[in-house]
Structure 1
Amino acid sequence: MEEIKNRGEVVRAVVRRRISVPPIVSLELAYLQLRMVCELIALACLTAHGDVPETTSKRLTKAYNADQIMKALEHLHPDFHPIPGRQVHDQTGEVVEVIPVDEPHLTKRELQRLYGECGDFLHRGNIEQLMKVRRLPEVSEIDTWFKKITVVGSDLRA
């Protein structure tokens, strides 16, 4: 989680234009961080479901591709993807309830789409693709993705 937070700080810096590099480099930097976050989320899902015997297979323990991990996990356990929630604490600070978050958040399909979008943007491709003019994403698109990843709310008291 700390690594995701650190990478999020880089994305925030790009979105707020606090990094003084050429625009294309700042976009690449943000997309690289988003791609790494996708991989970290997929690996966290894999770790969280370590009780499912197939998750310790050689194929999955060596996997790093978020899309590959997500597809394998979906086959093993359809409801594996994390769902954001707000914790309700009692007077002692113990969590007594988790309330689902209604705000838009990163679904498993969106995680796969984002991972692919990041890869498409970061890889130059072949010479034919290199010669084509490509549309650069808007910083607002990066911000939208990041907000879906970081849906959080204040903790509540019972």
Structure 2
Amino acid sequence: MKGSVLNKYQKAYERYMQEIKMRSEVISKIAFENSKGGLLTGHIDTDLDMAYLQGRKICELIMYACVAANQASSKQLNSKLKKSYKPAEIKKHLLDINSHFFPKARDRIGDPDKGPTEVIPSSELHLALDIDELTSFWGKSGDFLHAKRSANVPQEKKRESLAVAVDFLMKVIKLLSHHWIVVDETTQFAVLMQPVDRETGRALDKVQVGILKQVAEQSI
């Protein structure tokens, strides 16, 4: 594996994560208003459209990031992987070359001065988004990409659909807040979506993607 190739796709992975973070903030604002009984746009239908469109793009960005991690290994990838936006299709082709292609949520990040800091409680790691939930949500999101022929959907049903989008975001956060993703047998990317300045304790806007070398397979 060439270092220049690894660095190129490390930066690509970082860009995808940064965009996911930006789009997640839109759903977070919708969720916040919904928790108070309000609506971000003032209308349930447009809140739904916004939440599901951003969620759909988050699904696609996660899968594009998975492709980038595998491109970093200098493997020859199926040409469809470089063009497809469909999660199920990308999953199928990635599984052929890497059974650990999907991000793995981590509960702690090591700090040599202060010891490990918990990012996501260990008891919640099983709630992180998995690949099947991602493909399922992406499929559901298609219902919100076009105008409806019928306006007879009950308000309660719309609220339930909005709750599904908010739950999806919570799962994405648990998956990506601090995660590792396999590049090859000796290399992984380690990612912090909300890094903190050690001196000031201030949350930083920029996502951090580091390179881990020679991590034992059983620890993945």
Is the contact between residue 83 and residue 100 of structure 1 (CA under 8 Å) also seen in structure 2?
A: no
1:2-151 aligned at under 5 Å gives the runs: 2-17=18-33, 19-50=40-71, 51=73, 53-55=75-77, 57-85=78-106, 86-91=108-113, 101-103=122-124, 104-123=127-146, 130-131=149-150, 133-134=152-153, 135-136=157-158, 138=160, 139-151=162-174
Change beyond 3 A, Cα 1:92–1:60: same
User: How far apart, in 1, do the equivalents of 2:122 and 2:69 lie?
Assistant: 20
3-state SS in 2 of match to 1:64: coil
Q: TM-score, normalised by structure 2?
A: 0.57
Change in CA separation of 1:63 and 1:116 when aligned onto 2, cut-off 3 Å? same
Q: How many residues are aligned here?
A: 147
TM-score (norm 1): 0.77
Please list every run of 5 or more consecutive structure 1 residues that lacks an aligned counterpart in the other structure. none
> CA contact under 8 A between 2:44 and 2:158: conserved in structure 1?
no
> Aligned equivalents of 2:92 and 2:159: distance in 1?
27
In structure 1, C-alpha distance between the alignment counterparts of 2:43 and 2:122, rounded to whole Å: 37
Percentage of matched positions with identical amino acids:
31
AA of the residue aligned to 1:33: Q
The offset of 1:113, in angstroms, is 0.8
Q: 1:84, 1:101 within 8 Å by CA — same for their partners in 2? A: no
Between the two structures, name the one with larger relative contact order (CA 8 Å, sep ≥ 6): 1
Q: Provide the alpha-carbon RMSD of the alignment.
A: 3.0
- Report the CA distance shift for 1:58/1:28 in structure 2 as closer, same or farther (over 3 A): same
Q: Cα deviation per residue 1:107-158 (whole Å; 9 max; x = unaligned)?
A: 111111111111233345xxxx834855535232222111000014799xxx
